[in-house]
Structure 1
């Protein structure tokens, strides 16, 4: 049976991820939507807060692994188990698909048409070069930390400490992951469910978080940094 410290940390972490983090995320996102036009620093403050929160959660996840003798880096996917050639091939394939998607979105934006799914997180889109760097930083941060916490640790804790099957543990971890995107509304959360399901399948198939981390970061970079706003929105923000 896991030592008390492991259980306490795991329960606190899961409780925070399932309840506190979604509510905090929605609160800060709604506040950004209200104040961004009047406060030029609001975007940077929120992205700094979200990045700090994610790295803290990842640190707690790694602490749980460190104090739990039945968990190690391999149990939460921090190993490379697939041949490097297969991994590189998957990355190249995704980059090609992502490049095509960016070109399509740019054409839509140039014609003043809305980008599919963009409305769910519209206020996260950067408007300046500095904000693009903040968006890029959060994208990479989310790719690393969310995969460690939601995919690696939660599935391992579910199958290990709670004795759940891999499928049930993965479903529970996915549900908590989707809840963390409450600020996007039900349409955005539906899209997050599909993306999270794909990342979960990839992790379970490879046994490593390397590919989910890379793909997660690339998906977020495409969504935040490389997806332009429609022309009419850019005109509306001018001045």
Structure 2
């Protein structure tokens, strides 16, 4: 499969934005949130709204590329429902059980004044009010849907169609861009993102469908933003 010139241009614009512009904008926005969170009650909601809008625009561009590229369709970027292998269903169930156990363990740690693993990387994204929780939920669901379409579905197809990479090589390149997109989380946070992204990529390649990666991605983000215990004050101060 080779892309048309129009598709190549659109893909180059999208990849350039994802690899360079979006990470820098995201880090700038998150750092601004950290500086002004305590004195500006609206800054959290503005940032969530901006990130959601950005992600939906990127997903729309991804779907536009699919629409104008004759050799690519919805199934080519994983937007298809397929029957899942029995062994994969068991693995997904185990993943969900592990997530539920993690929520309980993190709550236990927080109740005893101990740090929750990985929380410092996104401590300023944790909502503090009921209104912020709605914005956080919207961001989690938006990221689950749009990031899978863009980073997993489209970028792997672009790597194969535009660059002639093998499926595994294209998946690795897409994963690298996905990790860079979370620059605002710092080195440790990006390692966690890489592990999660690797799992979601493996699920996509195994099933050929984005359905399970989208659901799991949204659940992971919902757990991280809404079911994480409130961090200790010194953790927030150290992350500022």
TM-score, normalized by length of structure 1? 0.93
Gaps of 5+ in 2: none
Aligned ranges for residues 78-93 of structure 1 at < 5 Å? Answer: 78-83=79-84, 91-93=92-94
Q: Distance in 2 between matches of 1:11 and 1:69?
A: 17
The alignment covers a number of residue pairs equal to 236
- Give RMSD over aligned pairs: 1.9
**Alpha-carbon shift at residue 93 of structure 1 (Å):** 3.5
Gaps of 5+ in 1: none
Secondary structure in structure 1 of the residue aligned to 2:70: coil
Q: Distance in 2 between matches of 1:201 and 1:232?
A: 37
**Alpha-carbon shift at residue 87 of structure 1 (Å):** 7.0
**Alpha-carbon shift at residue 235 of structure 1 (Å):** 11
TM-score, normalized by length of structure 2? 0.93
Aligned ranges for residues 177-188 of structure 1 at < 5 Å? Answer: 177-188=178-189
User: Once the two structures are superposed, what CA deviation does each residue of 1:148-189 show, in whole Å capped at 9, x if it has no partner?
Assistant: 000000001111122111111011100000000000111100
**Alpha-carbon shift at residue 15 of structure 1 (Å):** 0.1
Question: Contact 2:141 / 2:218 at 8 angstroms: preserved in 1?
Answer: yes
User: Once the two structures are superposed, what CA deviation does each residue of 1:13-71 show, in whole Å capped at 9, x if it has no partner?
Assistant: 00000000000000000000000100000000000000000000000000000000000
What is the match of residue 221 of structure 1?
Answer: 222
What is the match of residue 115 of structure 1?
Answer: 116
Aligned ranges for residues 75-224 of structure 1 at < 5 Å? Answer: 75-83=76-84, 91-224=92-225
